[in-house]
Structure 1
Amino acid sequence: MSTFHELGVADWLCESLNSMKIHKPTSIQAACIPEVLKGKDCIGGAKTGSGKTIAFGLPMLHKWSEDPFGVYGLVLTPTRELALQIAEQFSAVGSSMNIRVKVIVGGEDMIEQALAIQKKPHFIIATPGRLADHILNSGEDTINGLRRIKFLVLDEADRLLSNSFGKDLDRIFNVLPDSKKRQTLLFTATVTDAVRSLKDKNDKVFVHEIESVDKFIIPSTLSLYYIFVPSYVKEAYLNEVLNLDIYKDKVGIIFVNRTKTAEMLRRMLRKLEFRVTSLHSEMPQTERVNSIQRFKANAAKILIATDVASRGLDIPNVEFVINFDIPADPDDFVHRVGRTARAGKKGDSITVVGEKDIERVLAIEERINDKLKLLEDISDNKLIKDSLKSTSDAKRESLIEMENENFGERRQINKRKHIERENENSKVMKKRNKPKTLKSVKHKSTSS
């Protein structure tokens, strides 16, 4: 099928897509949209950038326009940035029908969010942690709209079904309609065993997985390099890489494993006069949005990020990716380097390898069935002459600033509040479930 109209999509949606210059469905869209329109649950596996949001968004909007009411669909996604991006696409495609979309993520006012949910927007795009907080704390008036949804989407389903989101998902599923009364759509770039096993539990699940996804994990246009460095001078080597002629004026992302490292590198590289911005979970939500916008607008050439930027985000024209820290999971490496060399364009990946990273590199090479090549443009003598002192001074100043500003304190406060809420809710549940004593039963029967 060559058009969205032939897939069965409503005319008003086809017109919206035409106005957005989206004319032909991608493979994942052509496979999944007709099946979802037939009422089937769906597991869709395709690489990042293949149009998964349109693949689940179009049939949801089509069905909603036939019977619009209350909270019609819920989309869960692991990061705030992905939630905002999905909401933008829903709003753009549904603009001609005055669709109401609400994003529910951390970092924003709980009361304002609760009031917005009470107004029953047509679609809620949420991160699991914040929506679970509302279910626990915002009352029945806020969450009752969720009890009638027709669609549940898990975007980046492999991450959502990992242990880290388990408790939050359980709380959310407890207030949603039974799976037989809703359609459930799971979309992911990595179809894991946990995702695939859901097919065995439900006969009406349609599964579409791009054939031999793993064989095409690393595009031929992506060059994979590494530099081997002593860990105590990693920052100086990073400075040297960024100053190479081949990268000096290009747009790139530097991935790290910890928020503290991201913040330190942002400050350090700014002192070294690089145009940088950052993206990590310690930043207020408004700053996270501004960072993405600055990077997309080319106001900043370099984005320093934790894995919140490794999946799903539509950031065009990234010319290189640097793994300053190597992820423990080889799949995360694949997602990170997938930010560059997209749509047939060329891109470079540079991995900074320390003395303790060899096993991780070997695991990555086995996963991608390829070898990283040595980046030979870095000279130790030039490094000592040009970068070591200036980088060390900038790093030291940055760490002192962060200590003076109590960087990381907000996370500790939020962590303590979360634990306190968990304990309080646990006490409430124990009281509700406390067995009635003989005395209380007698008292009740006497009073009645």
Structure 2
Amino acid sequence: MFDQLDLDDDLCKAVAEMGYASPTSIQSLVIPDAMEGKDIMAEAPTGTGKTAAFLLPVCQFLLDYPRREPGSSRVLILVPTRELANQVHEQALAITKFTDLSCGVITGGINYGTDRDTLSSHCDILVATPGRLFEHIEQESFDCRDVESLILDEADRMLDMGFSSIVHQIASEARWRKQSMLFSATLEGRGVREFAKELLNEPVMHSANPSRKEKNKIIQWYHLADDLTHKNAILMHHLQHTITSCIVFVKTRERLHNLKDYLQSQDIKVTYLQGEMPQDKRNAALESFKTGATNILIATDVAARGIDVQNISHVINYDMPRSADVFVHRIGRTGRAGAKGTAISIVEAHDFEMVGKVERYTKEVLKSRFIKDLRPKNKPPQVTKKKKVKTPAKSKSKTKAKSKTRSKSKKAK
């Protein structure tokens, strides 16, 4: 129970109202160490309660050591995308509901006047995207000297999006901080570990192994598609017969618009998200999908970063992603917080190699399925593994023998 973590009654009351009965595994691991002021480096899958894992201890700190005089934000949370910033801000508001703590959010795509209002309100907790916040630091409209806790959420996504140098500059501006925390879906990449090494001070490392209740219950399979016409027919079958809400992933904006036009020509109502989309249109598309006005969302990987919509029944990989870790991020949009979900991949021959990469990365077998009357005419392609060419032992010995002969001849001279 949360009251066993030495949290304030007002915080426990808030999480109970949010529907949390007991701490998740990542919360149980992180909260005690974070409340002792230790730096944290944590690996936590999406949907396991990591946002509350960092919000609860910093809120407890702010309550234990209240502000003595007006000033800038004391807790700074950096996130890679606008959508994630708004989601973290919403959770912060919910957790601080019964306290006097104030929360604000700053992202790109919003009027600077709104930012000024947020910054002038001296909020205790500020959630921000790195680019927009750094603009305010350069314009001296935000002062990092009061920051006591710096939190980096979805650090792996931040690196992927090229925010490394800006985050380092912000961290340098907030060098008087007492605590830093880094959260990532995976800590496997060298980039994340280097990132953490430069920003954290002797961090405690936590890797959550979610309980069965917390684990995403995602049923997965793939359909082999002969060509684009066959692929479209498989997609149409699922959209018309099996889904209630669905994200369809494509690899490029051009593919997105081609698919959107095709589905609309088939009287399928869709909305879409793509990179470099005006914020008002992006917000409208997300709102339409969240409210159920449109139950099919087409998205590229870049555009879908940070989307957290509950009760998505299906994820369909119309195009396979560029890497296995992106595949995992995609399918994590469904089956959240213990709910059931389905992930379907429609694989053409040129993408079939990715099936094996995903299996090796996730250590799970992706099984194939067929739809009656839509069985593929072609068999799965044979994926050949590249063998490393080793230098034969004999040739090495000959080379050594030659070099010895040369050295002897040189000595003879």
- Structure 1-normalised TM-score? 0.74
AA at the equivalent of 2:239: L
State the 1:9 CA deviation: 0.9
Q: 1:222 aligns with which of 219, 223, 226?
A: 219
* Residue 25 (structure 1) aligns with: 23
Q: Answer whether contact 1:155 1:187 (CA < 8 A) is retained.
A: yes
AA at the equivalent of 2:330: R
Within-5 A mapping of 1:191-210 = 191-192=187-188, 193-196=190-193, 204-210=202-208
Kindly tell me the number of residue pairs found equivalent between the two proteins: 371
Q: Answer whether contact 1:326 1:333 (CA < 8 A) is retained.
A: yes
* Residue 242 (structure 1) aligns with: 239
Percent of aligned pairs with the same residue? 35
Residue 42 of structure 2 is aligned to residue 48 of structure 1:
no
Task: Name stretches of at least 5 consecutive residues in structure 2 with no aligned partner.
Answer: 378-413
AA at the equivalent of 2:219: L
Cα distance, 1:27–1:344 mapped onto 2, change above 3 Å: closer
| CA–CA distance in structure 1, aligned partners of residues 119 and 260 of structure 2 | 36
Q: Answer whether contact 2:27 2:50 (CA < 8 A) is retained.
A: yes
| CA–CA distance in structure 2, aligned partners of residues 197 and 239 of structure 1 | 44
State the 1:40 CA deviation: 0.5
* Residue 67 (structure 1) aligns with: 66
AA at the equivalent of 1:195: V
| CA–CA distance in structure 1, aligned partners of residues 319 and 357 of structure 2 | 15
State the 1:381 CA deviation: 9.5
Q: Answer whether contact 1:157 1:188 (CA < 8 A) is retained.
A: yes
Residue 182 of structure 2 is aligned to residue 186 of structure 1:
yes
Cα distance, 1:250–1:373 mapped onto 2, change above 3 Å: same
Within-5 A mapping of 1:288-327 = 288-307=282-301, 313-327=307-321
Q: Answer whether contact 1:118 1:143 (CA < 8 A) is retained.
A: no
AA at the equivalent of 2:105: V
State the 1:340 CA deviation: 2.2
State the 1:366 CA deviation: 1.7
* Residue 353 (structure 1) aligns with: 347
State the 1:134 CA deviation: 3.0
State the 1:150 CA deviation: 0.8
| CA–CA distance in structure 1, aligned partners of residues 214 and 318 of structure 2 | 21
AA at the equivalent of 2:57: P
Deviations 1:400-439 (A, max 9, x none): xxxxxxxxxxxxxxxxxxxxxxxxxxxxxxxxxxxxxxxx
AA at the equivalent of 1:188: S
Within-5 A mapping of 1:108-119 = 108-119=110-121
SS at match of 1:187: strand
Larger C-alpha radius of gyration, 1 or 2?
2
| CA–CA distance in structure 2, aligned partners of residues 160 and 199 of structure 1 | 12
Residue 90 of structure 2 is aligned to residue 88 of structure 1:
yes
| CA–CA distance in structure 2, aligned partners of residues 171 and 200 of structure 1 | 15
Q: Answer whether contact 1:341 1:348 (CA < 8 A) is retained.
A: yes
Q: Answer whether contact 1:135 1:171 (CA < 8 A) is retained.
A: no
* Residue 136 (structure 2) aligns with: 134
| CA–CA distance in structure 1, aligned partners of residues 95 and 126 of structure 2 | 15
Cα distance, 1:305–1:286 mapped onto 2, change above 3 Å: same
Q: Which moved more, 1:201-210 or 1:71-80?
A: 201-210
* Residue 381 (structure 2) aligns with: none
| CA–CA distance in structure 2, aligned partners of residues 17 and 318 of structure 1 | 23
| CA–CA distance in structure 2, aligned partners of residues 99 and 353 of structure 1 | 50
SS at match of 1:377: coil
* Residue 13 (structure 2) aligns with: 15
SS at match of 1:373: coil
Q: Which moved more, 1:354-363 or 1:231-240?
A: 231-240
Cα distance, 1:57–1:346 mapped onto 2, change above 3 Å: closer
Within-5 A mapping of 1:332-347 = 332-347=326-341
State the 1:110 CA deviation: 3.1
Cα distance, 1:112–1:257 mapped onto 2, change above 3 Å: same
AA at the equivalent of 2:351: D
Cα distance, 1:110–1:259 mapped onto 2, change above 3 Å: farther
State the 1:220 CA deviation: 6.2
* Residue 258 (structure 1) aligns with: 252
| CA–CA distance in structure 1, aligned partners of residues 15 and 191 of structure 2 | 34
State the 1:189 CA deviation: 1.8
Q: Which has the higher helix share?
A: 1
- Structure 2-normalised TM-score? 0.80
Q: Answer whether contact 2:225 2:376 (CA < 8 A) is retained.
A: no
| CA–CA distance in structure 1, aligned partners of residues 250 and 267 of structure 2 | 20
Q: Answer whether contact 2:313 2:341 (CA < 8 A) is retained.
A: yes
Deviations 1:218-239 (A, max 9, x none): 9665122233232477445433
Task: Name stretches of at least 5 consecutive residues in structure 1 with no aligned partner.
Answer: 384-448
Deviations 1:336-383 (A, max 9, x none): 112223455443322122332233232112212233333311645999
CA RMSD in angstroms, aligned pairs only: 3.1
SS at match of 2:2: coil
Cα distance, 1:279–1:159 mapped onto 2, change above 3 Å: same
| CA–CA distance in structure 1, aligned partners of residues 215 and 48 of structure 2 | 15
SS at match of 2:55: helix
State the 1:16 CA deviation: 1.6
* Residue 162 (structure 2) aligns with: 164
| CA–CA distance in structure 2, aligned partners of residues 325 and 21 of structure 1 | 36
| CA–CA distance in structure 1, aligned partners of residues 258 and 171 of structure 2 | 39
